Amino acid sequence: MQMKSTFLAVILCLTGLGCAYAQPPKNQPLPDWTQDLMKRVQVDGYAQGGFAYEHTGGEDVNSFNMKRAFLIVAVPISDRWFAMFMHDFSSEVHEYWASYRFTNNKALSAKLGQFKNAYTIENAMSPTELEAIDVCSEGVTYLAGCGSDRLMGTQYGRDLGLELFGETNSGKLAYHLGIMNGQGVNKKDGNNEKDFIGKLEFKPIPELTIAATGQLGRGHAVDRSVYNPNVAIGEDYKRNRWSAGFFYKTDGFKLRGEYLEGRDKDVTSRGAYVTTVVPIGKGVDLVGSYDFFNYNVKEDMTQHKFIAGLQYWFYKRCRIQLQYVYKNASLQDYTIYNPMGDPVATGKAFTHGANHALLCQLQIRLK
């Protein structure tokens, strides 16, 4: 609440200052620096919402939902300085960072602030580009810290830190080297350890990207996890990851796949996914995806997921999506009762069983 109040206060102050500068005395022009700043500020945004019907654990649930409502402000301060601010009105501030390009070409730049970590190809992509309505694959969602890892809490695949990045060889080779808190968005580090995250990308041809990523660090657990019950709340534990994959796209056709693996304390997780988009008409695409992820290899907590659907791009980056999703396993709520019939404990268990969903989503983006 304190962060949200501070954020609102800052916005109100900036708005007041903007109004003060935007309304000079009659016949008095705006200062040159103000005019220049107003020309540089780029405002963008998007919203995603829709309807979901789900059959999970023998129960049927349906609901309209508002998944995201982003305001994005980008400021090219100079030909070398760049700043970004991103707020999701359905949750919280997601990104605020500045970057500086040291070289005359794109070989070396630095980014400081809160932004998406470089682990995996998919995590770096915008939800407005991703094909699945539920966004990332199960492995990326878990290992990149997008929400399903209860040990780390909801991180949205982002963190606070510093990153060096660039590209060479006419764009054929790109790299990212980052040092991050490892604790997620809008949080200070839970320990004195830092996460080191790297990505190396190679483009043998313009249509194909081959990438390898890795992460070395120590997590600080904020909750207990059914996937890794031996890690206690407040415990610092080994948290390492790596991935390898490819992304091919041309003339509307896309094919992307990755293999991922991670280790949290003494538990290994691994999985893979492949996703494709095939144009079948003007603005109409066929979308298909398959992924599997084993949250705990020793206990064989494997989930398989299939997605099939259509999407229609009716204006630039605006689309309507319709998808069917099948999962063979999920987390189910359970309650333990005493002999008198009173509930004494609740939790979640990994359960095998057919889970079906029919999802529809509308996406609107300004630019």
State pLDDT tens for residues 211-248: 999 999 999 999 999 999 999 999 999 999 999 999 99
Helical H segments across 220-339, by residue range: none
Residue ranges covered by each domain of the chain: 38-365
Strand-pairing partners, residue 345, are: 336
Confidence check: pLDDT of 349 > 80: yes
Average pLDDT, stretch 273-295?
97
pLDDT in tens, 168-219: 999 999 999 999 999 989 989 999 999 999 999 999 999 999 999 999 999 9
User: Which amino acid belongs to residue 187?
Assistant: K
- The pLDDT of residue 1 is 45
Global pTM value: 0.86
- The pLDDT of residue 148 is 82
Average pLDDT, stretch 22-41?
66
Return d(Cα 200, Cα 174) in angstroms, integer: 6
* Residues 168, 146 contacting (CB under 8 angstroms): no
Average pLDDT, stretch 295-308?
96
pLDDT in tens, 63-118: 999 999 999 999 998 899 999 999 999 889 999 999 999 999 999 999 999 999 99
pLDDT in tens, 120-130: 999 999 999 99
Confidence check: pLDDT of 3 > 60: no
CATH superfamily of 38-365: Porin (2.40.160.10)
The CA distances from residue 198 to 10, 119, 120, 147, 342, in Å, are 34, 7, 10, 21, 50
Provide the b/e sequence for 319-338 (b: ≥16 CB within 10 Å).
bebbbebebebbbbeeeeee
Average pLDDT, stretch 284-297?
97
Higher pLDDT, 224 or 343: 224
Higher pLDDT, 38 or 309: 309
Return d(Cα 260, Cα 62) in angstroms, integer: 32
